[in-house]
A = this chain, B = another copy of it.
Amino acid sequence: MKETFINLIKDVDLTEPIFIEALPGIGHVGKLVAEHMIHELEAEKFAELYSPSFPPQVFVDEDGIIEPMKNEFHYLKSAGEDKRDYIILVGNTQGLSPEGQYDVCGAIIDFVEKYGVKEMFTLGGLGTGQNVEKPKVFGAATTKKRAEMLKDHGVTLRSADGGIIGASGLLLGLGVYRGIEGACLMGETPGYFIDADASKAVLSLLIDILKIDIDIAKLEERAEETRKMISKAQQMEQEMAERMHVAPGEEDLRYIG
């Protein structure tokens, strides 16, 4: 296997859909949000991405069933108050090496661009390594106007203290010279596993920005479920990823998404 490829499961017709990325990262924050959206809004999987840039392994679930490494595209028609279409990306891994990240994120951007994506949100957690009373949402955007919009919604704009490493950053960077605007939303989290509180904070904001209607309360249940379901291997994987990608900043903010 030499090339990243996308297996199209269903032909769909979307009009300037909003693209939401939530690949695995700190505290499963983004992933939990996206999985909750997919479930509650009944988004449907229409494509899977496989890549030689993923870790060379498989996961095994509780019943001994093998799960290959993959990213999965879901779509949603006419969601929210303004009846927009959506593409939501989740998965059990990100590209492993730096070049692998470019390879996979490039393939993702190429794919969603074909569906007319002009706007994206990338979701993640921002690990502080400390207990968090009431999680803030940190954010950054590709344009001044969009950054202002985030601020108006209560997002703390990340200032000069850091960058955004991994898919959540890179997808936005690649979007810049494709004419795709975007923003990254990061829920504040200690960085330990399956942080439903940080996810709720991000989801609330997203509901607010996108004017979609989702039951937030059920997210806690989903978090519990996920805690049980994800294999120890996935947890180890994530811990490893965090160790690799994270360098402590002055305020000890950590982010990978």
Question: Chain A interface (Cβ within 8 Å of chain B)?
Answer: 1-2, 7, 48, 50, 52-66, 68-69, 95-103, 105-106, 109, 139-144, 147, 150-151, 157-166, 169-170, 172-174, 176-177, 182, 184, 229-234, 236-237, 240, 247, 249-250
Contacts and interface: CB of A to CB of B under 8 A. Distances in A.
Given A52-B106, A142-B66, A233-B161, A57 B99 contact: no
A68 B176 contact: yes
B236 A57 contact: no
A65 B232 contact: no
Contacts of A150: 64
A161 B231 contact: yes
A98 B55 contact: yes
Given A65-B142, A97-B98, A147-B65, A166 B250 contact: no
B247 A65 contact: no
Given A174-B68, A247-B240, A169 B58 contact: yes
Contacts of A101: 56
Nearest to A170: B56
A165 B105 contact: no
Nearest to A100: B99
B143 A58 contact: no
B53 A99 contact: yes
B60 A140 contact: yes
Given A1-B105, A106-B1, A170-B57, A233 B66 contact: no
B64 A141 contact: yes
B158 A102 contact: no
A219 to B, nearest CB: 22
Contacts of A2: 102-103, 106
